[in-house]
Every structure is written in C-alpha cells, then in structure tokens.
C-alpha cells in the first residue's frame, strides 16, 4: 500500500520539488495549489520524472477551502499518511512600520494555514496510530534576520506550535518535523521585494536584509535538497524534531545558538563595515557587498 502524502503550495519551489521527490519514492502524492492554472510546471516535472502527482485546488488561507480540499483527498485516498505544510508567503518590515493588517495576512497563511491542514488530517492519523506532519519553517524561524518582522514572527510561531504539537501527538505514534531552510531556489524571493521604510529611519536595516539575499540568492540551494530532507525526516529510524538545511541554514542556526542574547543585540548597533565582518565571523557566511 502506497504512502499517501499531501504537499501544500506545490506550484513552485520547495513544494513542487517535494511533491515530485515523494512521488519518486513511491508515494501517492496530492499536491495543493490555489488554482489549476499554476499546475503546468508541476505536472511537467512529474511527467519528466516518470511519476504521477494529483493536483488539488486548495487555498490554505480559507477554512472552507481546506475542509473541501483535504476532505476530497480523504474521500479519494482513504487516509493521509504524510502532511507537508509548505505553502507560505514572505513579508518585509521593521516592527515600527509594519501594519497590523500585514501581520494578520502573513500569520493567516504561514501559521493558521498550517493549523487548518493539521486539524483536518490529525483525527484519522490519531485513530490509526501513525502519521507524519512536516512543517516547513525557515532559517528565520531560529534567527530573526532584520527587517522581516511579519515573516519571522510567523515562523517563530510555527516553530512553537510544532514543538508543542510534537509532544501532543507523540502518544499516538505521530511524528512531527520542522524543516528550516536557508536560501533556497524559489519564486518567493521575486515576490518579496517590498520595504515600507515609511519613516526613513531604517535604511540600514532594509539594506542589510536585502544584502543578505543579494549574497545568498546566487548561491541558493536547489529546492530538491529540501525535498530530500523532508523524505529523510519522515523515514529516519531515529527522527529529529528540527532539520536545518540549504544555504546559510545550518551555519546560521548553529552560529546564533553559540551567541549570547546580548551579543545578538549588540550586532544590530554596529556600523555596516563592522556588522558585515562580525556577521561573517559569527555565522560563517560572507554577505558583505562587493568592494
């Protein structure tokens, strides 16, 4: 009997690569996207790999859409063995300048969207006494990289939810894993270029954030690497809760863990030259602008 897997946000990047990778491993994959018009590349990649992926129209920001989408999967497949909560959006702003509406929008997708999906599949996992829930967080779920307040707030919240969930479902034989990619080849970066800077006081902060991605995107890890980590997380004999991966992921998570909170705060007060030197020293990645 094939493992039945659902991957949300499968129209591009990590979701698409993960859906195809799981199908290659013999999974019966249901790949969700907001509209079928966006399924072309997914279906082409699956065909090229010699596998089948089933598109499912679903908007994780909508209660009704999630109930209908996952209800349809459960009716068709009879169960869901693996849920990969990948769908998400970015969000740039410092706290002072971020409209509450933007926090609400990002949280509704990145956190509440995952919870909606979990609540739909968890009852049948619990009744069977097996299943895996994989939540795609981010490097910024562990390291609050400057000027992305709505994004890292949502990812830290996802990390907390996932950590609590893992204990909640452990008695039922259900595995929870958090994947923390660094910079990965994905369409999210092309969509995430706004910087409010409404006060003009935070030029340095936005500049450092964009410089991080300017340095990282040319070295971005293939999305397929994250798909492989997802598969590892659901099949490992000795599972872990967290898996950092992709460019900057391991190094920055490890670097932040080795810093005191006071050193982290002090980093923000440095001038640009000192900031980039200290960043490289602490995190092992060079993001300084080319001289």
pLDDT digits (tens, 9 = 90+) for 19-76: 999 999 999 999 999 999 999 999 999 999 999 999 999 999 999 999 999 999 999 9
Active site residue 151: yes
Query: Max CA-CA distance within the chain?
Result: 60
| pTM of the model as a whole | 0.97
Q: Are 11 and 87 in contact (CB under 8 A)?
A: no
3-state secondary structure of 36: helix
pLDDT tens column, 187-236: 766 566 677 888 999 999 999 999 999 999 999 999 999 999 999 999 99
CA proximity to 33, closest of 53, 51, 47, 4: 53
pLDDT exceeding 70 applies to what percent of the chain? Answer: 98
pLDDT exceeding 90 applies to what percent of the chain? Answer: 94
**Where do the domains of the chain lie, and which CATH numbers do they carry?**
4-259 (3.40.50.720)
Q: Are 223 and 186 in contact (CB under 8 A)?
A: yes
Catalytic choice (112, 151, 243, 275):
151
Could you count the other beta carbons within 10 Å of the beta carbon of residue 228?
15
For residue 7, the surrounding DSSP H or E stretch is strand 4-7
Q: What is the pLDDT of residue 124?
A: 98
Dihedral angle computed from the Cα positions of residues 70, 75, 80 and 86, in that order, rounded to the nearest 10 degrees: -20
């Amino acid at each position: 009997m094939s493992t039945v897997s659902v991957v949300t946000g499968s129209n591009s990047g990590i979701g698409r690569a993960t859906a195809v990778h799981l199908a290659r491993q013999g999974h019966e994959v249901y790949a969700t996207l907001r509209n079928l018009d966006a399924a072309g590349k997914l279906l082409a990649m699956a065909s090229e790999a010699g596998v089948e992926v089933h598109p499912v129209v679903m908007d994780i920001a909508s209660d009704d859409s999630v109930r209908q989408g996952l209800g349809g999967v459960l009716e068709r497949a009879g169960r869901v063995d693996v849920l990969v909560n990948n769908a998400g959006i970015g969000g740039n702003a410092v706290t002072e300048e971020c409209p509450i509406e933007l926090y609400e929008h990002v949280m509704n997708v990145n956190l509440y969207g995952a919870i909606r999906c979990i609540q739909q599949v968890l009852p049948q996992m619990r009744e069977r006494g097996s299943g895996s829930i994989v939540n795609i967080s981010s490097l910024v779920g562990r390291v609050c990289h400057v000027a992305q307040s709505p994004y890292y707030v949502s990812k830290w919240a996802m990390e907390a939810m996932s950590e609590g969930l893992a204990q909640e479902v452990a008695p039922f034989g259900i595995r929870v894993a958090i994947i923390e990619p660094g910079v990965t080849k994905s369409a999210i970066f092309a969509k995430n270029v706004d910087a409010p800077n409404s006060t003009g006081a935070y030029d340095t902060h936005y500049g450092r954030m964009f410089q991080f991605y300017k340095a990282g995107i040319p070295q971005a890890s293939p999305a397929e690497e994250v798909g492989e980590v997802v598969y590892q997380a659901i099949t490992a004999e000795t599972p872990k809760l967290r898996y950092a991966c992709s460019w900057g992921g391991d190094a920055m998570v490890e670097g932040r863990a080795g810093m005191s909170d006071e050193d982290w705060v002090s980093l923000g007060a440095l001038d640009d030259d000192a900031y980039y030197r200290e960043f490289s020293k602490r995190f092992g990645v060079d993001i300084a602008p080319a001289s």
